[in-house]
Amino acid sequence: MSGNPSRLDEFGLIRRHFAPLAAGQAGAFGLTDDGALIEIGDGERLVVTADTMVAGVHFPVDDPPDQIARKLLRVNLSDLAAMGAEPRNYTLSVVLPPEIDDTWLAAFAAGLATDQKLYGIGLIGGDTVSTTGPLTFSLTAFGTLAGKATLRRNAAVVDDDIYVSGTIGDASLGLAIIQARFDAASDDDRDFLITRFRLPEPRLSLGQSLIGVARAAADVSDGLVADLGHICRASSCSAAIRLNLVPLSGPAERAVTDRQSLHHSLLTGGDDYELVFTAPVAMRGALERISSKCGVSLARIGQCVGAQNETPLVAVLDGAGNRIDLGHGGYRHFKKGQEKGEKGR
Ligand code: ADP
Ligand code: MG
């Protein structure tokens, strides 16, 4: 944050300065979705998404280079997953300070090679420049959609079930361990949580299977409550979820035992890269089948409940149905008090 009190958070900045530039571009969705759509003819459509990672903000400077590379690719793949797209190609821009040497870059490239194979995506271009500032990467991923339908954030309706894939909160605990703010119960738990921070698993097959089944979807990058809030805002509805239905891994369960505020913080911690989505009640059976076909667990955590002017947009309820106050709902760049490096990822 620059210290300029008139500066908005990232979403305010996007709305004010960039969304007007996307006016009239149907596939830009007003810059409110996980990616954009370009019609390329023959019934195929291209999904485009970009994400940038800055050392000291999005990843600790001394993280292993291959894992930084893989995470950079995977966070973009996660946006493709949230749109139901199949990965095709990507471009990569690297901004290198002098201390980044050839050995570092070889390890970085090896990480990309591993995940290119794993996810069936290939590099097609980019840019390489030097800087006296922090190490920075920007990646733009391109995916395709075969049919007419897509997954969007704006189609949730009242009474929809709300689901989340996998488990929530592991990555924020992993980051806390890396930053020595927290320690896990055992070495195995520590390794698991750190790996969940460094190597998210983009839910690509799940996303593709949700087309025509889910109504609205987003990936969880800023935190479950914040990203579900994005769905609610885009869909003009609000949501109620139950804390005890939000799925935790074994290591996360052990971490939050007897630590209520840590448990609450997992719902606003970022970097899960799971999918949060809504679906009509009639789709419960179909979703069970999709879950077993994709090998990804799905938890039904709540419902879309009412008009958008409900406060808060996303209510988190305890076992007795009382609202839990979580404070601010997710990580925001450029928000007062969140200086560069505070997040450390
Ligand atoms: P995500 O967390 O899914 O990657 P972001 O929160 O980074 O999405 O961005 C929200 C939306 O705003 C996306 O549609 C993204 O493409 C768009 N966006 C962000 N920054 C810019 C920018 N500088 N110019 C145009 N669009 C942007
Ligand atoms: Mg996203």
Q: Is the pTM of this model over 0.75?
A: yes
* CA–CA distances in Å: residue 148 to residues 46, 87, 106, 142, 151: 12, 17, 41, 17, 10
- The sheet with strand 86-96 has its strands ordered as 36-39, 45-54, 136-145, 86-96, 122-130
* Amino acid letter for position 291: S
pLDDT at site 170: 98
Q: Measuring from atom 1 of ligand 1, which residue has the nearest CA?
A: 34
pLDDT at 147: 79
* Distance of alpha carbon 9 from alpha carbon 226, whole angstroms: 13
Q: Is 34 in the pocket of ligand 1 (CB under 6 A)?
A: yes
Ligand 1, residues 9, 10, 11, 14: which to mutate, most atoms within 8 A of Cβ?
Answer: 14
pLDDT of residue 226: 94
Q: Residue 129, class by beta-carbon neighbours within 10 Å (0-12 exposed, 13-18 middle, 19+ buried)?
A: exposed
Does 31 sit in the ligand 1 pocket, CB within 6 Å? yes
Residues with CB under 5 A from ligand 2 (ion): 34, 79, 219, 221
Q: Could you tell me the distance, in angstroms and rounded to a whole number, from the CA of residue 101 to the centre of ligand 2? A: 31
C-beta 14 within 6 A of ligand 1: yes
Closest ligand 1 atom to the C-alpha of 28? 14
Report the pLDDT value the prediction gives residue 308, as an integer from 0 to 100. Answer: 64
How much is the pLDDT for 146? 81
CA–CA separation, 56 vs 59, rounded Å?
Answer: 6
Distance of CA 26 to the CA centre of its chain: 23
Q: What is d(CA 254, CA 256) in angstroms, rounded to the nearest whole number?
A: 6
Which residues of the chain are modeled with pLDDT < 70? 1-6, 308-310, 328-345
On whether the CB atoms of residues 39 and 28 are closer than 8 A, the answer is no
Residue 342: per-residue pLDDT: 37
**What is the number of the ligand closest to the CA of 140?**
1
